[in-house]
Amino acid sequence: VARRRKQAIPFADVRGHLEPGPIVLITSAHNGRTNIMTLGWHMMLGFEPSLVGTYIWEENRSFDIVKASGECVINVPTLDLADAVIGIGNTHRGRADKFKAFDLTPSPARKVAAPLVEECYANFECKLADGKQINRYSLFIWEVVATHVATAVKNPKTMHYRGRGQFMTAGATIDRSSEFKRDNL
C-alpha cells in the first residue's frame, strides 16, 4: 500500500474525516508496549477544541495501554487496507507485532508516543480530555492535538461496518453546498 504525503489540517476540519463513520485503527503505546486495534464506535464531540469520543472495551488489550498513557492515534484506513483492518479485528489480545504481521509501517507522532500508521490516509494524534466516562461506558473523550492528512485524497474510500462481517464502502460524494446556509456548512 502506497504511503502518501500528508499535511496538517485545521482542527475544525477533523469532522470531515470522522463524521462519515469510518472504521478506524487506534494505535497506542505505553512503557514500550505498542498496540493497534480496529474500532467502529466513535463520534465527534467538538470543533475547536476538536473532541472525539471512542468506545474502547476493557477486554481489549489496547484498553490498558490507552488508559495508562492517556494518549492514542486515530488512523483512518481505506479499502486497500481491508485485510489489515479485518486481521487486526480478529487478533483479540494477541501479543504478536501487528505492524509486522499486517505489513503496516509505524512512524513517529509529533505530540504522543503512539505511532502513526503510515498507510492510513489520515492520522489524528489524541490526548485524553476526559476519562470520567471510561469506567461506566468505556467512553474515552479525546482532544485531537495534531493532524496528518493526505489532502490529495479527495473522497477516501473508507470502510463502514454494518455488522455480520459486512462493510459498506464509501460511494459517490455529492456537493449540496449551494443549498446550505453559510452558518450551517
| CA dihedral (99, 152, 159, 45) positive or negative | positive
Smallest separation, CB 31 to its own copies (Å):
27
For residue 175, count other CB atoms closer than 10 A to its CB.
6
H helix or E strand, kind and range, residue 122: strand 122-130
Nearer to its own copies by Cβ, of 31 and 178: the residue is 178
Identify the CA nearest to 27 among candidates 148, 152, 169, 172: 148
Q: Interface residues with its own copies (CB under 8 A)?
A: 13, 15-16, 19-22, 40-46, 51, 53, 55, 79, 82, 86-87, 89-90, 92, 130, 133, 136-139, 141, 155, 157-158, 160-181, 183-185
Q: Could you give the strand order of the β-sheet that contains 139-149, starting from the edge strand earlier in sequence?
A: 33-39, 24-30, 71-76, 122-130, 139-149, 51-55, 42-46
Smallest separation, CB 173 to its own copies (Å):
5
Nearer to its own copies by Cβ, of 45 and 146: the residue is 45
Smallest separation, CB 71 to its own copies (Å):
20
**Which cell numbers hold the place of 136?**
461506566
Nearer to its own copies by Cβ, of 107 and 133: the residue is 133
Nearer to its own copies by Cβ, of 109 and 139: the residue is 139
The rounded radius of gyration (Å) of the Cα atoms in the chain is: 16
Nearer to its own copies by Cβ, of 33 and 157: the residue is 157
